[in-house]
Amino acid sequence: MRRPKVSLRREERKVQTAVNLEYSGRVELKATEAGLIGYSTDIVRKLSRKMKMENRFPGNFAILEFGAGSGFLADIWKKQTGVRPDCCEIDPELVAEIQTRGLRCFTSIVELDRKYEGIYTSNVLEHIENDSKALLELVNSLIPGGVIGIYVPAFPFLFSEMDELVGHFRRYRRRELVSKVEAAGFKVESCTYSDFVGYFASIFLKFVGFKRRANLGSVGSLIFYDKWIYPISRTLDALGFRYMAGKNLILVASKAR
C-alpha cells in the first residue's frame, strides 16, 4: 500500500530500519510520555485486560513488549500488573534508557532467548515497512496458545504530516489489520477501535497541521487533551463507540496450541 503524500521536505522524512537504528520520533515520544500519562496508562490497562494473561496462564508467565521505546509503557505495565516485561528495541539510546529502568532488553527479535506466553506492541507495526514479516517473527516468538496484543493507528485517510514526521508507513484499516494478523498464523479474538474523540481530533490535526498553528503536539496541548478530552473519549469507548470509530485499533489474537 502506498503511503499518502504529505508536504514534508525530503530531509525531514526519516524512517527507522535495521541499518538506521535511530528512531526519528524521539522528540514526539518524550512529549507523549510527559503529556499523555493517563492515555498511556489506559493503553496498558486495555491491553492487559483484553489479553487476560492471568486467566490463560495461571501462575508464572513471561511477557515481551515489542518496540518498547524508552520502556515507559513497560514500566506502567509492571506497576499495574506486577509483571515485569522484557523489552525489544533497536534504538541504542532508547535501549540504554530501558536498562536504566531495570528492564531486560533485546535489540532484535532474533536475539530472544526464550518463547513468551504474551507479547504486546503499541504504535510500532506502522513503523515497519514489511509488517507481515514482523508478525511472522512475533508468532514464532510465542509458545503454543500464546497471546498478542496490538495497538496501532487507524484509518489511512487520517495519515498526516505527523505520521510522516515520526516514520509511519501506514495507518490501518480494521479489515487490513485482521487479515495480516490471521495470515501470520494467529486467531483473532477481538479487534475494536480506541479513542473515539481522538478520531475527530486527528481529522482536525490533519487539516490544521502538526506544531504549526495552535501549537498542536506540544506537551501543553497533550496535557490538556489527557486531562480534559481523553476521559470523555474513554467513557464513550466503554459505552460502545469503540465499535464505530477511533483514532487507533486494538487487537488481541492467539497462537494455535
pLDDT tens profile 126-157:
999 999 999 999 999 999 999 999 999 999 99
CATH number of the CATH domain containing 226? 3.40.50.150
Range of the domain at 165: 11-255
Residue 3 lies in a domain: no
| Closest of 159, 155, 160, 220 to residue 194, by C-alpha | 155
Residue 4 lies in a domain: no
Q: How far is CA 150 from the centre of its chain?
A: 7
Domains held by the chain: number: 1
Residue 17 lies in a domain: yes
Residue 44 lies in a domain: yes
pLDDT of residue 139: 98
| pLDDT tens profile 210-245 | 555 455 668 888 999 999 999 999 999 999 999 999
pLDDT of residue 7: 45
Residue 2 lies in a domain: no
**Calpha distance 64→86 (Å, rounded):** 5
pLDDT of residue 208: 78
Residue 6 lies in a domain: no
Please state the pTM of the whole predicted model.
Answer: 0.91
Question: Above 60 in pLDDT, residue 6?
Answer: no
Residue 33 lies in a domain: yes
Residue 251 lies in a domain: yes
Question: Above 50 in pLDDT, residue 11?
Answer: no
